[in-house]
Structures are given as C-alpha cells and as structure tokens.
Amino acid sequence: MKTDRAAVLAEFKAVARADGSLQAAATRYSPDGVRLREKPALMRWPMYKDGRIEVQDEGSQLVARLVSARRGSMVVDFCAGAAADLAIGSLMKSTGRIYAFDINAKRLAGMGPRLARSGLSNVHRWPFAPPATRA
C-alpha cells in the first residue's frame, strides 16, 4: 500500500471528529489492518481511489505475512481471487513476481482496477480451468 496504518487511522479519526459517526481501530492480529465498525462507502473516498487503502479481510492480511515474501521473491497463488495478492505485492514493494491463478476469470479481471490503484506492477494474472472429469 501507499501508506501505513497509523496514517490511515489518523485520517479516519479526523473524519470521526468532523461528523462523529465513524469508528476505526487497529485490527487485533494483522499489523497492517484497520477495522471499521460502520460500513461507509469507502470506494467513494479519496484514500481508496488513490490506492492508499484497500478492502481486505484480516485473514488475507495474515496469510500475506505468513508467506514471508520479500523484495525479489516469486510467489504463486492458486486461489488468487480479486485482492489477496495486493497485500503480498505490497510487502514485496512491487518487485519480484506474483503469479495469480484462479478458476474464476471474472474474479481475476476484478483485480485489474485494484492493481492499478495500488501501483503494483509485479502481479501476473492467469485464469485456468480445472481438469475435466470423466463420467
């Protein structure tokens, strides 16, 4: 990501002071995440549009950490979905290669706008079909 959790929390807290409705806190386990009590339309917020934040569950954030990918690593994700590789790519500082495979080409296509916002250039998407079964 293009920022850190402290900066995101500070921005959310500034919004909360302005209107009193938003409650944001650091996630319990992930060192990167922020949990919102409410469900605001984040996709309309400037910090989402310019790639400073991304919507992702805490479990995916933890998996990205457990993979221990570093700058220059090669990572293969066989169940990539639309956003899981964003956290890994961010930890790799957009270096190395991430091969994102999924049987659902539509989910991989949904990753395109997210990659563009994030600025990541090291994710290579590959849809694949499961092997045919014989009757």
Summarised one tens digit per residue, pLDDT across range 95-127 is 999 999 988 888 888 888 888 998 888 999 988
**What is d(CA 35, CA 24) in angstroms, rounded to the nearest whole number?**
6
The confidence score (pLDDT) of residue 86 equals 84
Name the nearest CA neighbour of 88 among 76, 101, 78: 76
Contact criterion met (CB below 8 Å) for 60 and 85: no
Q: Give pTM, 2 decimals.
A: 0.77
Residue that wins the pLDDT comparison between 10 and 19? 10
